[in-house]
Structure 1
Amino acid sequence: MLEPAYQADVVVVGAGVAGLSAAHRLTSAGVTTMVLEAAHGVGGRMATEKIDGFRLDRVGQLLSTAYPELRLTPGLGRLALRPFAPGVLLHGDGRHHRAGVQPGAGGARGALHAVRALASAPRSPSAPRLPRAPRKPAAVPGRQVSVPRSRSGAPLGTPVDQARLGAALTRLAGTPAERLLARPELPAGEALAARGLPARTIDGFLRPLLAALLCDPGLTTSSRCADLALRAFASGRLCVPEGGADALPEHLARMLPAGTVHTGVRVTSVSTTSVTTAEHGEIRCRAVLVATDARAAAELLPGLRVPDFHPVTVVHHTTDEPPGTGASLLLDADLGGPVAHTAVVSRVDPTRAPAGRTLVSSTVLGRPPGDVDTAVRMHLARLYGVSTARWETLAVHHTPEAVPAMRPPHDLRRPVRLLAGLYVCGDHRDTSTVQGALHSGHRASAAILADLGAGRSMHVADPLPTVPRAA
């Protein structure tokens, strides 16, 4: 139980990754911190449902090993990340094509070798072949399909087009973020046309890739945010936390001092010196950090702008016969159905499915079709080249306000300090990614420490009172 007389230096409202990362930096600086969460668990939208030994993400945003905050945030040093196979797997014209920069390929020259190897790899209309490494194409197991032979290099274009794409991604990986943020800002879809790449490469690779990275099928996102997403893709590997999306916030919560996080506590109002809760009345403090989602933050902080949101639907299936795409992230270059991206997630992270079972997770962006499971099954049958009639549906998770929209003009560094003593953070203050949420928590904690004064002694919190047990 909490008592109204209890005091702390900082009260953090919300136990998502932004609030938890800020709490880590505050406690590491000697600031006594309380984290209050209305739900009965931490993580917010980074939630994972457990069903019969399966771990099913509700939103399942893609992470990148290139995210700086995954290395810089205290408490995340031991977080296990499971990477997808390098690049992505594209399904176009009835076949699979590997695309993307492979880390360690030796810079621009390595990227050119990789795309040239892809272009020269033997193709069969009945058995798709994928290069696992430059100059070493390898077969992809799975049901054979009979399709018309497509143009060489589809959907990436000609070998020259592929070389240009590889070189462009390699240059992007080495471009400082500050230079990307100084570029003219347009909607991402419009900006792609001005990049000097052929329309086939843009439509067959960059559009489906950016839609997956940004959760934005219309590519209305700021081109600066899109460039940052492509930069992370080109310089790292797409990945997921081992054990489910909630492993990240739960790991952060476990690494905080005991008694820091309190769940099931609903905050009804905030000021610069206190918060009021529905369960425990007023809690006095020296500063308040609102670290909830954008809509909940606006309810506590009138006047805070609520952005539009991108809805996300995740459909989870299991099958006894896993598709033969390995640990790849599979995109539809033809945009021939509702699925934006899909993966045999149990191949990426075996802890997400019981032994001997396969977990296939597929993401639908935007407004889902009426019978979403039937539409997704039909699309997956084409993407994987296998029958999905006997696949078992484990869950369908629809989140209407999954990802804040980042339409231009978009300020990637929205203020986190509202008043001395009142602060806000979350992915709606930065980029709408896990990296953005973590970084906004970093900025907010730095502002709080600066305002509290690094040289001033911090409040020493009394232990929480215990409730006597009945005899």
Structure 2
Amino acid sequence: MARTKDSGPYDVVVVGAGAAGLACAGDLCAAGLRVLLVEAGDEVGGRMRTDRVAGFTVDRGFQVFNTAYPQVKRRMELKALRLRPFTPGVLVHTEDGLRRFTDPSRRPRRIRDMLPGRLASGRDLLALSALSARDALAPASVLRHGADGTTRDALAAAGVSPRLVETFFRPFLSGVFLEDRLETSARFFHLVWRSMLRGTLCLPAGGIGAVPAQLASRLPPRVLRTATPVSAVTPGGVTLADGREVPSRTVVVATGQRAAAELLPGLRVPDGRTVTTLYHAAARPPLEEPVLVVDSRRRFLNTCVLTAVQPGFSTDGRALVSTSVLGSAGAADAAAVQRDLGDVYGVDTSGWELVHHVTVADALPAMPGPTPLARTARWAPGRYTCGDHRATASLQGALASGARAARTVLDDLRSGTA
């Protein structure tokens, strides 16, 4: 995007055009302020980016879109994203083969999959029913203000057996939270479980990058500048990497946590979770169903046939299989994962082609329980910050944090304290 000349101070400069920055800038523009949104990358989205590689559509790390998020309902035109859903529930690879874990209320014909003894005992099914009913029906505010601890604590308190925790919850939630010890905040777990019960997990036809692109398309002209990195937040605004000064009454840092800590020295940020996603092309899909598969042995986080969800992700008719693992993965790890996928899917994977390999550092902020689900946007007079690291590790958290920062800026400008 072409740069424009600065003509006097802005009311607000927002640094970072990820989900939080886009939400914040959009709300501030709607309030009538003069806003500049600067993004270091060549496109908006932050970690929500999509690439075209070897004829395939690949996101930067496996991501799903949850229609239940309140901020999504408020901000997104879902029809324009051309969403296609995953099958409700997941397939769990066990010693006895693939077992389905699903919500029978959504797929009554699949109720046999949840019969006692197949994956869970009768006692576990009763405990799960009570847990799910509470989380699905209770107001979100009740869950947000409940007692906190770890997800493992929450499952034990709900009466879920250690066996089902190890067979299903630990493998499944490792891919959600990007940690495999179930140490994530219990309150956040309940909110996530609620969103999964109430919403639908989907993929946009254009990849996850279509979500921030839609948010950016609604900004007024000349608000957004890409390829414009910021080197410092100054008393008078910001300094760009090319040395130019951009004057502004207020500045909102909406970057990831590491960059935020560099621009706002002294800002305390959580650790980040790193994930690697491998994209394989296969002549034939190992599974025709658009469903997430997890492994009870935890050899990887999850896998799915992306082209079973969005056929347009492939241009040559081959299937695209996405598989994620914790941390960084080298060539030896990738080869091992490919062999493990053969075991899980029950097919010969030796002919699969690894078409893409992406490691995302700080893909999610760590949220070990107990932890606050929201942090203040104020950093100093006229200086603010937002992002999922200031809220919850989710798209909902990022958007809500951006909205909170915008409200705080407006309140401070009106009161003269900014």
| TM-score of the aligned structures, taking structure 2 as reference length | 0.92
Aligned partners of 2:127 and 2:159 also within 8 Å: no
d(CA) in 2 for partners of 1:86, 1:74: 22
Tell which deviates more after alignment, 279-288 or 386-395.
Answer: 279-288
d(CA) in 2 for partners of 1:332, 1:48: 26
Residues 330-351 of structure 1, C-alpha deviations (whole Å, 9 max, x = no match): 111233x2x1101101111122
Cα distance change of structure 1 residues 63 and 213 upon mapping to structure 2, 3 Å threshold: farther
Superposition deviation, residue 316 in structure 1:
0.1
Give the 5 Å matches for 1:317-396: 317-335=280-298, 337=299, 339-368=300-329, 371-396=332-357
Aligned partners of 2:64 and 2:208 also within 8 Å: no
Q: Which secondary structure does the structure 1 equivalent of 2:61 belong to?
A: coil
Q: Which structure would you say has the larger Rg?
A: 1
Q: Residue type of the partner of 1:72?
A: R
Superposition deviation, residue 157 in structure 1:
1.9
| Identity rate, percent | 39
What is aligned with 1:421?
382
What is aligned with 1:251?
214
Aligned partners of 1:4 and 1:280 also within 8 Å: no
Superposition deviation, residue 249 in structure 1:
1.3
Give the 5 Å matches for 1:162-177: 162-177=125-140
d(CA) in 1 for partners of 2:117, 2:110: 9
Q: Residue type of the partner of 1:362?
A: T
Cα distance change of structure 1 residues 441 and 119 upon mapping to structure 2, 3 Å threshold: closer
1:291 aligns with one of 248, 254, 257: 254
What is aligned with 1:70?
72
Give the 5 Å matches for 1:402-421: 402-421=363-382
1:435 aligns with one of 385, 396, 405: 396
What is aligned with 1:210?
173
d(CA) in 2 for partners of 1:181, 1:285: 35
Aligned partners of 1:81 and 1:241 also within 8 Å: yes
What is aligned with 1:148?
none
Q: Which secondary structure does the structure 1 equivalent of 2:125 belong to?
A: helix
Q: Residue type of the partner of 1:87?
A: G
Q: Which secondary structure does the structure 1 equivalent of 2:276 belong to?
A: strand
Cα distance change of structure 1 residues 441 and 79 upon mapping to structure 2, 3 Å threshold: farther
Structure 1 unaligned blocks of 5 or more:
106-112, 121-151, 457-471
Q: Which secondary structure does the structure 2 equivalent of 1:331 belong to?
A: strand
Cα distance change of structure 1 residues 117 and 68 upon mapping to structure 2, 3 Å threshold: same
Cα distance change of structure 1 residues 53 and 305 upon mapping to structure 2, 3 Å threshold: same
Aligned partners of 1:216 and 1:366 also within 8 Å: no
What is aligned with 1:241?
204
| TM-score of the aligned structures, taking structure 1 as reference length | 0.82
Aligned partners of 2:25 and 2:35 also within 8 Å: yes
Aligned partners of 1:157 and 1:201 also within 8 Å: yes
What is aligned with 1:265?
228
Q: Residue type of the partner of 1:28?
A: A
d(CA) in 1 for partners of 2:408, 2:79: 23
Aligned partners of 2:37 and 2:223 also within 8 Å: yes
d(CA) in 2 for partners of 1:69, 1:168: 24
Aligned partners of 1:268 and 1:277 also within 8 Å: yes
d(CA) in 2 for partners of 1:102, 1:441: 36
Q: Residue type of the partner of 1:240?
A: L
Q: Which secondary structure does the structure 1 equivalent of 2:26 belong to?
A: helix
Q: Residue type of the partner of 1:118?
A: D
Aligned partners of 2:277 and 2:322 also within 8 Å: yes
Superposition deviation, residue 270 in structure 1:
1.6
Q: Residue type of the partner of 1:277?
A: L
Q: Which secondary structure does the structure 2 equivalent of 1:298 belong to?
A: helix
d(CA) in 1 for partners of 2:209, 2:402: 18
Q: Residue type of the partner of 1:341?
A: N
Tell which deviates more after alignment, 21-30 or 77-86.
Answer: 77-86
Q: Which secondary structure does the structure 2 equivalent of 1:168 belong to?
A: helix
CA-atom RMSD, angstroms?
2.3
Aligned partners of 1:272 and 1:421 also within 8 Å: no
Q: Residue type of the partner of 2:395?
A: V
Aligned partners of 1:18 and 1:441 also within 8 Å: yes
Q: Which secondary structure does the structure 1 equivalent of 2:273 belong to?
A: strand
Superposition deviation, residue 167 in structure 1:
4.2
Residues 102-152 of structure 1, C-alpha deviations (whole Å, 9 max, x = no match): 5657xxxxxxx67753245xxxxxxxxxxxxxxxxxxxxxxxxxxxxxxx6
Superposition deviation, residue 216 in structure 1:
1.6
Structure 2 unaligned blocks of 5 or more:
none
d(CA) in 2 for partners of 1:410, 1:61: 24
Superposition deviation, residue 75 in structure 1:
6.6
Asked if residue 305 in structure 1 is aligned to residue 268 in structure 2, the reply is: yes
d(CA) in 2 for partners of 1:45, 1:319: 26
Residues 174-217 of structure 1, C-alpha deviations (whole Å, 9 max, x = no match): 12222222332222224322221222222222222221221222
Cα distance change of structure 1 residues 160 and 406 upon mapping to structure 2, 3 Å threshold: closer
Aligned partners of 2:88 and 2:106 also within 8 Å: no
d(CA) in 2 for partners of 1:205, 1:224: 19
d(CA) in 1 for partners of 2:259, 2:267: 10
d(CA) in 2 for partners of 1:274, 1:327: 48
Superposition deviation, residue 44 in structure 1:
1.3
Q: Residue type of the partner of 1:348?
A: V
